[in-house]
Amino acid sequence: MDQRGVKTRKRNLIKKGSGLFELRPPEYFSVPLLAADGDMPVRAVNVGEKVCEGSLIAKPSGRYGSFVYSPCSGKVVGIVRKLNANGNECEHVVIERDLENEKELMSPLDALEQTPEQLLKRLYMSGMTDNFMPYEPAYKKYLLKCNIKTLIINCTEDDPYQSCDSAMIETLTSEVVEGARLLKKLCKADQIVFIFTLANMSAETSLRNHIKKLGDKTIKIKTYSNVYPLHNSRLIAYYETGKMVVRGARTAQIGVIVESVSNCLDFYNAVMKGIPCTQRAVSVTGKNTLRKANYFIKNGTPISHVLKLVGTKKEYDDNMLIYGGIMSGIAQETLDISVGLGASVIIFTDSGDYEKDNETPCINCGRCLRACPVRLNVKRLDDAITLRRFDMAKKLGVDACIDCGACSYVCPAKRFLAQRMSFAKDIVDGKVGKKPTSSNYILIEGEDLTRQGVEFETDTKKINETQSSALPEIDEMLKVLNEKTKQEEEEQARKNQEMQAKLAKKDAKKNDEGGKK
């Protein structure tokens, strides 16, 4: 398969082979109950309750919820409702850590117990979520009863700042491989394929050596060319099989399951040691951080705490906090968020480099078309969306867009292409206006001390400017859409009336004729 996308310059600010560190846990955790897209879990603890590390604090509700476990031992001191790092509003449980370090573990599964059913149950119980698109609970991929041929472990690290996957593979090679083999057992796949790019060769070599030692013939290694995007499971499945599943469908339908390195490691821990998923390896990097490295960060650690421990430079005025990669991450409005299980990169940088240029007219160069991994006619879509022709956008296939941002990256006219695409997709799906647009903070119960370190303000003026220049006014759009549907309805009604009138005339004529006869 020819890979499409853009070549990004790797910005490995983190020294290669510097390993993985544990981040010292904070005094207060603020654990988001919703780590990925899915149904909101139901809280299982109340204020004042004592929790251990690994004890259950939320249970799934609805079809696709997930379990949430406490990252530390301590006491629940508050429950708040605010935005999580992915921009979804959900409840957060505030836990005050104590020094007792009690742990509550599940019982490990031994070799006899490792049947697919048991493993699936353990995966469900472990509370793992994916840290790649689409952000979903990890077990969701395995629910379809399909014939799985290949289990792909995505180690490509397509984001220029990301290096946590390599670090995990280099330091915890056997755990990762064992985890992958357990997952293979779970989905009964024929083979495991680890995919790398040319940019992380050292991790590939250490993995290759390990596999050679194991002598497992079903584990293969593939090297992709180093183009962005590679973080989307549907796209990886397409490169592997030549078939693309539609948005919302699962790659298991075409016999491929894509997993991340973190999931392998967490699954290994959950099965062999009984530890539920409460931490993730995250690259903390960016120009304004001091100790750039890959850290294991516990679920619910406030970002302000991370930045305090990592250290920030103070000489810049305008900072940016990007959660989840420079290419497709979310720039945060406040420091009042906590690291969730979907994290892989946290970038703290100054805005100097990334100040958005003004849009200039499109020069029709076709670079966006060549960059788009799903072969959309991005330029025509851009025209259609600026003219508010969402029907045309739909016809051109806007819902195939995977929100990668390659088109915006490559455009010489600096047009806000990817931003428009995702907006149009929301309009086509009828999702506009449902997501919260600013951070609402509601204290439900108890107190929240994680907000102490938050001294940053948000430059709302700038947000408004960028948003308004990037996208046409939402209200106006909705109005146009409504009008259009209204017009269509009216036209339909008019046509119906005409038809009826005609029919009535015919009937009358017939009756007349009949009467004459």
Partner 1 sequence: MNSKLVVTPAPHVTKPFSTNMLMFAVVIALMPTAISGVINFGTNALWMIIISVGCSFVFDLLFRFMVTKKFNIVDLSSLVTGLMVALVLPAKAPLYFAVIGSFLAIVIFKGCFGGLGRNILNPTAAARVVLGLMFSSLTLSLFSGGGNMADVGSPLSYFMLGDYSSITLRSLFFGTAPGAIGTASIFCILIAGVLLMLFSITNFVMPVCALATFILTVWLGKGSIAIIPFLFSGGFLFVAFFMLTDPVSSPLTMWGKLFYGLIFGALAGLFRVYFVMGETGVFVALIICNILAPLLDKIFQPHPIGIRRA
Q: Which of 182, 183, 180 is nearest to 195 (CA)?
A: 180
We find the least distance from the C-beta atom of residue 22 to ligand SF4, in angstroms, to be 36
For the chain, the farthest-separated pair of C-alpha atoms sits apart, in whole angstroms, at 104
Give the DSSP H/E element, type plus range, for residue 173. Answer: helix 173-187
By CB under 6 A, residue 382 contacts ligand SF4: yes
* Interacting positions 202-231 with partner 1 (CB under 8 A): none
- Counting Cβ atoms within 10 Å, is residue 403 exposed (0-12), middle (13-18) or buried (19+)? middle
* Interacting positions 488-507 with ligand SF4 (CB under 6 A): none
By CB under 6 A, residue 201 contacts ligand SF4: no
* Interacting positions 403-422 with ligand SF4 (CB under 6 A): 403-407, 411-413, 415, 417-418, 421
We find the least distance from the C-beta atom of residue 78 to partner 1, in angstroms, to be 24
By CB under 8 A, residue 5 contacts partner 1: no
By CB under 8 A, residue 414 contacts partner 1: yes
By CB under 8 A, residue 354 contacts partner 1: yes
Q: Which of 38, 232, 224 is nearest to 132 (CA)?
A: 232
Judged by CB under 6 A, which of 402, 424, 427, 477 binds ligand SF4?
Answer: 402
Pattern of binders to ligand SF4 over 304-343, x per CB under 6 A? ----------------------------------------
* Interacting positions 236-255 with partner 1 (CB under 8 A): 238, 244-247
Quote the tokens at residue 366. 């076709």
Q: Which of 220, 164, 178 is nearest to 195 (CA)?
A: 220
Find the part of the chain contacting partner 1 (CB under 8 A) among 71-79, 110-118, 172-180, 393-401.
393-401
We find the least distance from the C-beta atom of residue 262 to partner 1, in angstroms, to be 21
Residues 6+ apart with CB under 8 A from 54: 69, 70, 103, 104, 105, 106, 275, 276, 278
**∠ CA(37), CA(39), CA(40), 5° rounding?**
105
By CB under 6 A, residue 365 contacts ligand SF4: yes
Distances (CA, A) of 186 to 113, 121, 220: 12, 10, 18
- Residues binding partner 1: what is the number (CB under 8 A)? 74
Q: Which of 185, 191, 172, 211 is nearest to 111 (CA)?
A: 185
Question: Quick one: what does residue 351 bind among partner 1, ligand SF4, none, with the CB cut-off 5 to 8 Å set by partner type?
Answer: partner 1
Judged by CB under 8 A, which of 19, 48, 62, 397 binds partner 1?
Answer: 397
266 — phi, psi (to 5°)?
Answer: -65, -35
We find the least distance from the C-beta atom of residue 419 to ligand SF4, in angstroms, to be 9
By CB under 6 A, residue 385 contacts ligand SF4: no
Cross-strand partners of 516:
none
* Interacting positions 293-332 with partner 1 (CB under 8 A): 312, 314, 316-322, 326-332
User: Are the CB atoms for 37 and 434 separated by under 8 Å?
Assistant: no
Sign of the torsion formed by the C-alpha atoms of 398, 404, 405 and 407: negative
Q: Where are the beta strands (DSSP E) in 198-277?
A: 219-224, 256-260
- Residues in contact with ligand SF4 by CB under 6 A are 362-368, 371-374, 376, 378-379, 382, 401-407, 411-413, 415, 417-418, 421
